[in-house]
Amino acid sequence: MVINAKPTKSETVYLQLYHRGKRILKLNAKLNDGNFSYSFKKSELPNGIIRATVYDSEHKPITERHFYNHKPNENLNIEIETDKLEYATRDSVIVRVRTLKGNRPVPASVSLIAVNKDYFNATNPDKRNILSYFMLESDIRGEIENPSYYFENEKQMEQLDFLMLTQGWTNYKYDEAKKSKVVEPERGLALTGSISGVQRRKKSKRLQDEKFDVALITFGTKPRVFNQEIDSTGYFNFNLEDSYGDGKKFVIEPVSSVRTNGTFEVKITTTDIPKIEYKTDFIISPVDSIVEKTVYERIEKDIAIDSYLLPNIIELNEVVVSDYKMTPEREEMKNLHGMPDAVVENKELMAKAENWTGILFKWLQFNFRDDISVRRVGNLPGYLEATIPGADFTYILVDGMPVLFENYKLVPDIPIEAVKSVELLKNAPKAAVRYWLATFPQSLIIYAPQRSAILAIYTYSGKGLFGAFPGKTNLTMDTATEFSPKREFYSPAYDSEDEDSGVPDLRKLIHWVPNIITDTKGNAEINFFNGDIVGQVLVICEGISIAKGAVGQSNMSYEIIE
């Protein structure tokens, strides 16, 4: 490596080499008339992209260069072969995989996919793979056109140096100091959070000896109880047992050795789930009329015998209500007034809640304005009133019980965490006869409006309006996330008499196995069956070695003939 400085000067600079973000070498380089040279052995440097950065005497980067150190024996070499090169439709295919590092067999975790070659080339123009990502794309900025091209053979590897010169650059900014952050690996299900108020009490000399514990109960077929002492920071961390499903309900409560009232608040740490965007490519190819007819007949047969394929929604006034769990209160409302026009469950209430929408009517005012009108009435400060447009009067029912009109001013302040669901019935003519006197005891039924609507609120307590305002408590109820079970990729077995041979098999993706562990000799064998589409099938195998994380990729093709 040679450093040339212009104008020529004699001073000390620093040269550092990095590989995958880790510094592997640091040198004090004394410039002699602006020049410095140093020799490296290729075998002494790791495999992949090396970043060389020169720093000035104040340790500020002044120039940088990337180069690729090619050590093919350090990659994972994957050998794949099939038992034949030509197969008939629905033939059994045996694929043998062998993983080596250099010439030595090593165990590895690999994935294998067999897919129609024309379909794969049409839908994957970028030709990315595990080797191009780990060895190139993860270290180089910007979009790389056809990154797998550079790893197809030794000659094309030479062109990597040109790519390093054009896209291997870094821009440094010194606007603010970067703070280091340590992220611990997640080894299983955990529940973390903090207790507000602990730090403030620990500052008091009188209360320095006060101890804090947090108790946790998880529910399920086998409830479990946890207890943990909280330090002065107020943070806690429970390691839960591995479990699978839609969520594990739990109850958590902090306890002080001095006080037992509800002044401490539990804050559960939550993580945002990254959004996944899907890109769909439509490829239209002509279908044989006999095959098309057979497929449609089979679909109609499946719908006729499978209740899960039948429509499972109720559509009313352009509002769709699905998975509506019937309770005694809802059953009574349905029999009297029909199904609701709109339903807002607690999950949606909490998901769209902001600091200023923690009470019910504020939430409705900002998130449901097309279906309900919320306005302030009375002398200042007044209170919020909710009405359904098109109705002369909107009755409010909490847990099936009509609210007295003089208590309407209490309804807006119901906390949304206490609300199980909110339901709107835009046209309920029977409500005038049934609820008018319960709402206005001093009035006469003749004054009841004819065009009535209902705002039905169901709470978790089920005790009506006044049960919707829980007292202060340390008790927190929530649901912890759980693992998702592994799903197996379906592959038909045409050597079995149970398979329906009369149904066309038009699969473009023939087989996929996400995790195959090769043995100590690096061997593994996979068996699957072809479909009915003739043509070339591309078999792609890529993976990573169990030890030291060497990556590799390989592919081959075979033919399906009639």
pLDDT tens digits, one per residue of 368-397:
878 888 888 877 677 888 899 888 999 999
**What is the spatial distance between Cα 532 and Cα 505, in angstroms, rounded to a whole number?**
5
Helices first, then strands: H and E counts in the chain: 10, 31
Q: Determine the pLDDT at residue 294.
A: 65
Q: Residue 170: which residues within 8 A CB-CB, separation 6 or more?
A: 51, 53, 61, 64, 141
304-313 contacts at long range (C-beta below 8 A, 24 or more positions apart): none
Q: What is the 3-state secondary structure (H, E, C) of 461-481?
A: CCCCCHHHCCCCCCCEEEEEC
Place of tokens 């007295």: 404
- pLDDT classification of 520: cutoffs 50, 70, 90: very high
| Residue 465 scores a pLDDT above 80 | yes
**Residue 66, Cβ neighbours under 10 Å: how many?**
21
Q: Residue 294: which residues within 8 A CB-CB, separation 6 or more?
A: 502, 503, 504
**What is the spatial distance between Cα 207 and Cα 470, in angstroms, rounded to a whole number?**
29
**DSSP letter assigned to residue 184:** -
Place of tokens 């306890």: 255
What's the mean pLDDT in 116-131?
87
239 or 538: whose pLDDT is higher? 538
Query: Residue 114 has which token pair?
Result: 């067999």
| Residue 37 scores a pLDDT above 80 | yes
What residue spans of 440-531 are helical by DSSP H? none
| Residue 84 scores a pLDDT above 90 | yes
* Range with the largest mean pLDDT of 24-33, 76-85, 163-172, 349-358: 76-85
| Residue 257 scores a pLDDT above 70 | no
Whether pTM > 0.75 for this model: the answer is no
Measured at the CA of 427, the angle between CA 424 and CA 431, to 5 degrees, comes to 90
- pLDDT classification of 347: cutoffs 50, 70, 90: confident
Radius of gyration of the chain, Cα coordinates, nearest whole angstrom: 34
Residues 75-110, buried b or exposed e (16+ Cβ, 10 A)? bbbbebebeeeebeebeebebebbbbbeeebbbbeb
Place of tokens 């009509």: 402
What's the mean pLDDT in 199-204?
58
Q: Determine the pLDDT at residue 316.
A: 36
Q: Is the peptide bond before 274 cis (omega within 30 degrees of 0)?
A: no
- pLDDT classification of 81: cutoffs 50, 70, 90: very high
**What is the spatial distance between Cα 218 and Cα 476, in angstroms, rounded to a whole number?**
12
Q: Determine the pLDDT at residue 83.
A: 94
- pLDDT classification of 217: cutoffs 50, 70, 90: confident
Q: Determine the pLDDT at residue 315.
A: 38
496 or 71: whose pLDDT is higher? 71
CB 82 within 8 A of CB 541: no
Taking all residues of the chain, what is their mean pLDDT, rounded to a whole number?
A: 81
Place of tokens 């066309």: 504
| Residue 201 scores a pLDDT above 70 | no
| Residue 344 scores a pLDDT above 50 | yes
What's the mean pLDDT in 155-179?
74
| Residue 200 scores a pLDDT above 80 | no
481-511 residue pLDDT tens: 888 887 788 888 887 666 556 788 899 999 9
290-324 residue pLDDT tens: 656 666 666 666 655 544 444 443 333 344 444 56
CB 561 within 8 A of CB 534: yes
Residues 321-331, buried b or exposed e (16+ Cβ, 10 A)? eeebeeeeebe
Q: Determine the pLDDT at residue 307.
A: 43
**Residue 154, Cβ neighbours under 10 Å: how many?**
9
| Residue 436 scores a pLDDT above 60 | yes
